[in-house]
């Protein structure tokens, strides 16, 4: 799924989209692909949490209990 520069910049830097756009202007295609995959994983996790999709493979999801016990 190819994202527009603006959508990806907002994901990378939601409080300063212009900064995200400057970053994307210098990012390699490989780096951009990593961020696009991050967007996909976030969307997959949202679907899984809503009960309408499978848990993304290769992703460890910790809830509040696991985070507290790790301290």
pLDDT tens digits, one per residue of 14-36? 999 999 999 999 999 999 999 99
Confidence grade of residue 70 (pLDDT, cut at 50, 70, 90) = low
Counting the structural domains of the chain, the total is 1
- Measured CA to CA, the distance from residue 57 to residue 8 in angstroms comes to 22
Q: What is the pLDDT of residue 33?
A: 94
Domain span at 41: 5-70
- The contacts of residue 53 (CB under 8 Å, 6+ apart) are 44, 47
């Amino acid at each position: 799924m190819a994202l527009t520069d603006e959508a990806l910049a907002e994901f990378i830097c939601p409080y300063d989209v212009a900064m995200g756009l400057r970053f994307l202007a210098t990012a390699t295609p490989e780096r951009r692909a990593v961020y696009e995959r991050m967007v996909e994983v976030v969307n997959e996790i949202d679907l899984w949490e809503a009960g309408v999709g499978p848990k993304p493979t290769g992703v460890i999801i910790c809830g509040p209990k696991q985070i507290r016990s790790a301290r």
